[in-house]
Amino acid sequence: MTWIKEHLHILETLTCFLLILIGLPLLSSHASLASVCFILAFLIGGYESAKAGLEDLFVNKHLSVDVLMILAAVGAGIIGYWLEGALLIFIFSLSNTLEEMAMEKSKNAIAALMNLTPDTARKIQEDGSIVEVETKELKIGDKLHVRKGEAVPIDGELLSDFGQFDESMVTGEPITVDKVKKDALIGGTINEGQTIEMLVTVENEDTLFAKIVNLVESAQTQKSKTATFIENLEDNYVKFVLLLVPTFIIFCHFVLGWTWLSAFYRGMILLTVASPCALIASSTPASLSAISRAARKGLVIKGGDIIDNMGDIKAVVMDKTGTLTQGKPSVVDTHYIGEKGLVDAIVKTAEEASTHPISKALLDYTGSIDRLLIDQAEEISGKGFVLHYQGQEWRIGKKSFILEVVDHVDHLEEEIARLEGQGKTLIFVSRESDLVAYYALLDDIKKESLQAIKQLHELGIKTVMLTGDQEKTALYVAEKLGIDDVVANCMPQDKVARLAEIKEKYGFVAMVGDGINDAPALAQADVSYAIGSGTDIAMESADSVIMDDLTRIPFSIKLSKKMKTIVKQNIIFALSVITLLILANVLQVVNLPLGVVGHEGSTILVILNGLRLLSFK
């Protein structure tokens, strides 16, 4: 029964076709019986369209193309052309069925994401035994056993010392990723190494795949500007056709001297061929296909209007840490003026409260040193920490932040310049008005960043780095990557203002970021991309989410441009077919069946043209 409901439209179309086939041989010998077959074909094949059209008319107060098709078929029947009316209904029903199948094909790309995570998982009990449970029953804190070749059931943390995973279904990159103990695991990725144990760290509804599916399902309801315009035009267009047809019939009879029967028949053809079915299908299938294709390439786009805008990008603004670089800096040089043990303990105590990548690097460096009982601590956004220990003020952060209390660091300027010239980020520590240490950290550039910048330049798009890092560090990374423009020493609260300046300079601008401090700028940009490994607030603020591979940005721009080209092709083709069929009707060189074939055939071709985006490279 469920299968019949799911395939009702297909069954109606097939039944309509069979009834026409049965009626055709009866035309010469049993005309009345043939007419009954055609009327039944008409009623069965046209039921869904009539229902949709009438609901649209009386519930939504909207005139749709379904109304035009039903009126044309009824009109043909009234003057005795039941075969033509039945053929019109069959081809229109077939067109709608093919359109539904085409839409389903683009949506299946998203549905496939939901099937990547297994239905069951092997849970490790407290006594060490392993039981198989449904994935939906897993809770935070559960320990799981994942064998080689199996999919990770849910997002979590690696408990084993080492593991290797295929994350291509998320990142689009067919490379095995090495993981060590405490590294994050993504549900749906494949365990390519030996059997591992993992810890569940999120609820089922909060996994990365769940978020991706929710975002894309939401995106499928957000239409492009072109699709919205065409759909808004439909109601007025249908009204125009409904006024045009009786005017055409009267004109043909009284001015051209046609008989009422001939004029009415030609009016029904006009009602059919002037219907904007192909025009309406010009945009939506293309944008849905583009969104689906992007999702399979590790890029979640939140709506048709957004992918429409991506083709207009003139400049891409990127944060440095975590976007262009790995976001996992490590301490590579140190210099102590004060007592090393005390300085490291102060740093560890301060940085434990922060989730910033630099804080994590400093915590990794300070290792197992015990934290101190401090009097007071405060994090100054974009600058560093201030804390009080044994009546003394300590500061940890950028040079500019330290120089607010330290007179100068002239004696270290040469060494500082050398380290910054190597692309290293320096974190300074002061006690009262004395500099007591600095740490030099290096954050490796992502291998995809250079390729992404190169591809953007090939598209004629400017690149800008917007970062809170020191200018020398920022310039080093920019030079390595070939970035056009650099804005350094930018505080989080200043990013929106700086972005406005960049927009004024370049025009239509995209912003890429991964952190909470990027969220306001992401919301301000014309188009925004969040890194999927970043924070939830960044993902919510952005128009799209990329799974940690910046080459998806130039891909999205090329995809958008291709989509726009296809939509333009579809619109020109649809309007051309409508115009040619109307002229052919006026010249009386096309009959109703041929008019229906030409009209609905153009609709099918337009849909198929849009579906080409599913295989866009």
Domains, the chain, with CATH or none? 2-111+218-287+561-615 (no CATH), 120-206 (2.70.150.10), 299-326+445-548 (3.40.50.1000), 330-442 (3.40.1110.10)
Over its C-alpha atoms, the chain yields an Rg (Å, rounded) of 32
| Helical segments of 311-406, H only | 340-351, 357-366, 399-402
Packed helices 82-114 and 65-78: angle between N→C axes, nearest 10 degrees: 160
Read off the tokens for 482: 């070939």
- Is residue 177 within 8 A of residue 170, CB to CB? The reply is no
- The whole-number pLDDT of residue 485 equals 95
Tell me the pairing of strands 527-531 and 509-513.
parallel
- HEC states along 280-313? HCCCHHHHHHHHHHHHHCCEEECCHHHHHHHCCC
578 vs 519: CA distance, rounded Å: 47
Q: Which residues are catalytic?
A: 319
The Cα–Cα gap between 47 and 24 comes to 22
- Bridge partners of 510, per DSSP, are 316, 527
614, 293 contact by CB (below 8 A)? yes
Rounded to an integer, what is the distance from CA 532 to the centroid of its chain?
Answer: 11
CA 561 distance to own-chain centroid: 15
In this structure, what are the phi and psi dihedrals at residue 201, rounded to the nearest 5 degrees?
-120, -5
| Block mean pLDDT (10 aa), the chain, length 617 | 66 85 84 86 79 75 75 80 80 74 60 69 92 92 93 93 80 69 88 92 83 62 66 80 92 92 91 86 86 83 86 93 81 90 92 79 87 84 87 91 87 86 88 93 87 96 89 86 91 82 94 74 86 59 77 95 95 95 93 84 89 88
Q: Residue type for 355, please? A: T
Q: How far apart are CA 366 and CA 396, in angstroms?
A: 14
- Provide the H-helix boundaries in 79-129: 82-114
Q: What global pTM score does this model have?
A: 0.72
- Confidence at residue 304, expressed as pLDDT on a 0 to 100 scale: 80
CA nearest 529: which of 320, 324, 301?
A: 301
pLDDT at 589: 92
Q: Are 331 and 365 in contact (CB under 8 A)?
A: yes
- Give φ, ψ of 343 to 5 degrees: -60, -45
Q: What stretch of H or E contains 569? A: helix 552-586
How many C-beta atoms lie closer than 10 Å to residue 166's C-beta?
18
Query: Looking at residue 570, what is its pLDDT?
Result: 95
pLDDT for position 328:
78
